[in-house]
Every structure is written in structure tokens, then in C-alpha cells.
Amino acid sequence: MNPNALLELLAQVQQGSLTPAAAADRLAHLPFEDLDFAKIDHHRPLRTGLPEVIFSAGKTPSQVADIFAHLAATGVAVLATRADQSHFAAVHAAIPAATYHATARTITFPSKNPPQSKGLIAVLCAGTSDIPVAEEAAVTCELFGTEVLRIHDVGVAGLQRILAQRERLRLADAVIVCAGMEGALPSVVGGLVAVPVIAVPTSVGYGASFAGATALLGMLNSCSPNVTVVNIDNGFGAAYVATLIARASTR
């Protein structure tokens, strides 16, 4: 339930078109909308500052489309992550204005009242194969109203590549670093900037990379104290936190 809807309901009570008992009943059944298979948390924007997001993996196209449409109807920015072409087809049928970002595997639909762009987030990746995760992060930041600085393929085996970006990096309110294999880039970046670094281990690699576990462990043991870590391939989560930081920085 978005704030406007709540005010409207209370106005109806004030105006006498809704009894207190009926209003209480409606408030008790919300603040989430029950689609039977999912309970949409319309209350989240008020409570946590950013709208609910749809994790598409393991959901059917029609489930994703239903939730997407219900969220879009409230006017908030809508984001579906881990969405494949079949998810998008179903969403597109319901919401023709929705956009598919193929590399990032996300579907977006802008807020009716998009926020003024706030802050700058640098999104780095160590290698070309990490770009899909980095794009999930970048698309998320942009949907939530933050400017993004994309810096690709700056792994630590050729330090001059990241060192050349130092000045640009220092403009960012937060830095997201996506890396697979040994996951060393966040430690190096952490030593170059004065803002939080959010490390995203990726499942890029083979053999003893153990599908991202090695990068994850390396990042958790970073010798740079400004590094925190999210789950493997979780570009969205990193973007969510970076957005909160960028908003705070520009308040």
C-alpha cells in the first residue's frame, strides 16, 4: 500500500464514506497484497526506502508477470532480476513499457515519480566475464535514481588498468567491485578510495574457483577495512546498499 493509498483510505474515513470498522479490516488485511502464491509487500517503500524487487529464478513467467503488474500499478519503480526471455515475454504482454536488459538479465519499469538523480556509484569488474553481474548492479542503481560509472576489465594482474582510473574512482559515493577467480580486486580498490567498497564475488572461473566460493572467501578476508561482501553474483544486492549510501551522501 503506497502512502497515497493510505491517505486516501483515511480520507474516506474522515469523509464518512468508510466506517472505522471497515477501514480497520482493510488495514489488517494489508500492508501486503496476497496473490495466494506471493504476498507483495507494498509497505516496504515506507519502511525501507526502496520498493520490493522480484527475484525471477524459480518463478514461472506468469507469476513474475502478475507480481510485476501489481507493483507497476502502484506507481513505484519495478525491478525483476534473474529474468530470462520467457519471463520478459510474459511481463511485456502485461506491461508493454517494461524494458529488458539482456546482459543484466533484468526487467525494469520506471517509477511514476522518478527521484532526482542522486549520487554517483562506480561499478567495476575484474574481467569481461564479470560484466553480466556488473550490469545487474548498474541497471539497479540507475532504476533507483543513481548515476553509474562503469569500469570494466581492470583485474589486478595488470595494475596500470585500475591505477589509471584512480581519479575517476574518487568521485564515487560508493564503489561496487565484481570479481571472480581469486577475487582480489576489492582489496586493491579498497586501498585507493575513501568510501565503502561493496564486493560482489562472481561465479566466473573454473576448477578451484568452486563457482565463486573462492572469490567470496577472499573478499571476506580482505585486508582493506572498507570492504563488505554480498552473495555470489548478487549484483542487485550490492546496488541496493550502494544506493542507500549514495542517497545518504547526497542528503
**Does position 210 bind its own copies by CB under 8 A?**
yes
Least gap, CB of 26 to its own copies (angstroms): 10
Lay out the site mask for its own copies across 51-90 (x = CB under 8 A, - = otherwise): --x-x-xxx---x------------------x--------
Candidates 24-32, 84-92, 93-101, 110-118: pick the segment binding its own copies (CB under 8 A): 24-32
Tell me if residue 197 falls in helix, strand or coil. Answer: strand
Give the residue from 50, 22, 25, 56 showing the smallest Cα distance to 38.
Answer: 56
Alpha helices in the chain (DSSP H): 3-15, 20-29, 44-48, 61-73, 85-94, 131-143, 159-163, 166-169, 185-190, 213-220, 235-249
Q: Hey, what amino acid is at 36?
A: D
**Does position 139 bind its own copies by CB under 8 A?**
no
**Does position 40 bind its own copies by CB under 8 A?**
yes
Candidates 69-77, 94-102, 108-116, 166-174: pick the segment binding its own copies (CB under 8 A): 166-174
Phi, psi dihedral angles at 177 (to 5 degrees): -125, 115
Contact 234, 228 (CB under 8 A): no
**Does position 99 bind its own copies by CB under 8 A?**
no
Q: Rank residues 96 and 194 by Cβ distance to its own copies and give the closer one.
A: 194
